[in-house]
Structure 1
Amino acid sequence: MASAPVAWQRYAAVLFDLDGVITPTAVVHMAAWADLFNGFLATYDGPVARPAPYSDADYFAHVDGKPRYDGVRDFLASRGIVLPEGTPDDPPTALTVCGLGNRKNDAFNAVLERDGVEAYPGSVALLDHLRELGIPLAVVSSSANAPHVLEVAGLRDRFQTVVGGDVAHALNLRGKPAPDTFVHAAAALGAAAEASVVLEDAVSGVRAGAAGGFGLVIGVDRGAGETALAEAGAGLVVADLADLVPQHAP
Structure 2
Amino acid sequence: MTELGLPEGILACLFDLDGVVTRTAVVHAAAWKEMFDAFLRERDGEHFRPFDDTDYDEYVDGRPRADGVRSFLASRDIDLPEGRPDDPPSAPTVHGLGNRKNERVLEKIRTDGVEAYDGTLRYIAAARARGLRTAIVSSSANCRDVLRAIDAEDLFDVRVDGVVAAERGLPGKPRPDTFLAAARDLGVDAAHSAVFEDALAGMDAGRSGHFGYVVGVDRVGQTDALYTHGADVVVKDLAELGGKA
TM range (shorter): over 0.9
- TM-score, length of structure 2 as denominator length: 0.94
Farther off after superposition, 31-40 or 224-233: 224-233
Task: Select which of 224, 229, 232 maps to 2:229.
Answer: 232
Secondary structure of 1:44's counterpart equals: helix
Distance 2:166 2:7 in 1: 31
2:19 — aligned with what? 20
1:84 — aligned with what? 81
- Asked whether the equivalents of residues 33 and 52 of structure 2 are also in contact (C-alpha less than 8 Å), the reply is yes
Question: Residues 81-113 of structure 1: CA distance to partner in whole angstroms, max 9, x if unpaired?
Answer: 111111101110000000000111111111112
Task: Select which of 191, 194, 199 maps to 2:191.
Answer: 194
Farther off after superposition, 116-125 or 155-164: 116-125
The gaps in structure 2 that reach 5 residues or longer are: none
Secondary structure of 1:10's counterpart equals: coil
Report the Cα offset of residue 34 of structure 1.
Answer: 0.9
Amino acid at match of 2:166: H
1:155 aligns with 2:155: no
Distance 1:120 1:90 in 2: 34
Cα RMSD for the two superposed structures: 1.9
What pairs with 1:11-160 in structure 2 (closer than 5 Å)? 11-44=10-43, 50-160=47-157
- Asked whether the equivalents of residues 176 and 208 of structure 1 are also in contact (C-alpha less than 8 Å), the reply is yes
- Asked whether the equivalents of residues 41 and 48 of structure 2 are also in contact (C-alpha less than 8 Å), the reply is no
Secondary structure of 1:218's counterpart equals: strand
Report the Cα offset of residue 10 of structure 1.
Answer: 2.7
Amino acid at match of 1:34: K
Distance 1:145 1:24 in 2: 14
1:216 — aligned with what? 213
Question: Residues 192-221 of structure 1: CA distance to partner in whole angstroms, max 9, x if unpaired?
Answer: 000000000001001101111100011111
- Asked whether the equivalents of residues 116 and 153 of structure 1 are also in contact (C-alpha less than 8 Å), the reply is no
The gaps in structure 1 that reach 5 residues or longer are: none
- Asked whether the equivalents of residues 23 and 117 of structure 1 are also in contact (C-alpha less than 8 Å), the reply is yes
Distance 2:109 2:134 in 1: 24
TM-aligned CA distance change 1:120 to 1:41, over 3 Å: same
Q: Which runs of 4+ in 1 moved over 2 A?
A: 7-10
TM-aligned CA distance change 1:154 to 1:8, over 3 Å: farther
Report the Cα offset of residue 7 of structure 1.
Answer: 3.6
- Asked whether the equivalents of residues 5 and 243 of structure 1 are also in contact (C-alpha less than 8 Å), the reply is no
Amino acid at match of 2:5: V
Amino acid at match of 2:110: E
Question: Residues 131-166 of structure 1: CA distance to partner in whole angstroms, max 9, x if unpaired?
Answer: 211211000001111111111111011001111111
Distance 1:113 1:188 in 2: 32
Q: How many aligned positions are there? A: 244
Distance 1:194 1:7 in 2: 13
